């Protein structure tokens, strides 16, 4: 039953995004027969280091969606404190609901069933513009962002150029 409800909800969100596209990203299914695996293209936000980039990522939804969050993984190489070296995104709203056992995040900052694909992607775009180096998934990128910003910018610029070739 939960799978059927999540499937209907995801189909509704997909149709809504097709009817009313949101600036900054596009989304669709990886495979038309699997509503739980999405491919998104995030356009590097203006006035950020990622401007001009085209970053492909996958969203993997659990059958318990929207009670549990999806996982997000960048397929395009990207250098960012909150994206680990394998492309996995670490952002509060994608963390399991409830209290953070480490006390770092409030429950209200974590996954809530009201989140949609649109709110997830807007949060990720915002994260690109404003990294959280206090809780990094990529410690090297966070350290560089803080201590050697010139080198950080150089690596991001290389990722942006590479992303333009892959489109």
Residues known to be catalytic: 90
Nearest to 70 by CA among 142, 107, 124, 130: 124
- Helix axis angle for 117-129 and 2-19, nearest 10°, is 60
Q: d(Cα 155, Cα 25) in Å, to the nearest integer?
A: 22
Say if strands 71-74 and 25-29 run parallel, antiparallel, or are unpaired. unpaired
On whether the CB atoms of residues 111 and 94 are closer than 8 A, the answer is yes
On whether the CB atoms of residues 128 and 44 are closer than 8 A, the answer is yes
Spell out the residues 6+ positions from residue 112 whose beta carbon is closer than 8 angstroms to its own: 93, 97
């Amino acid at each position: 039953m939960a799978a059927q409800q999540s499937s209907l909800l995801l189909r509704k969100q997909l149709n809504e995004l097709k009817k009313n596209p949101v600036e900054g990203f596009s989304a669709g299914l990886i495979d038309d027969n699997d509503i739980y695996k999405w491919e998104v293209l995030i356009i590097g936000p203006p006035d950020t280091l990622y401007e001009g980039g085209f970053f492909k990522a996958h969203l993997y939804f659990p059958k318990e969606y929207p009670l549990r969050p999806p996982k997000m993984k960048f397929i395009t190489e990207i250098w960012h404190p909150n994206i680990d070296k394998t492309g996995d995104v670490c952002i509060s709203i994608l963390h399991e609901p409830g209290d953070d056992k480490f006390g770092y995040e409030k429950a209200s900052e974590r996954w809530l069933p009201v989140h949609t694909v649109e709110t997830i992607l807007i949060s990720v775009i915002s994260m690109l513009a404003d990294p959280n180096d206090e809780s990094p998934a990529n410690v090297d990128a966070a350290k560089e962002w803080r201590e050697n910003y010139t080198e950080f910018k150089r690596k991001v610029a290389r990722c942006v150029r590479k992303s333009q070739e892959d489109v």
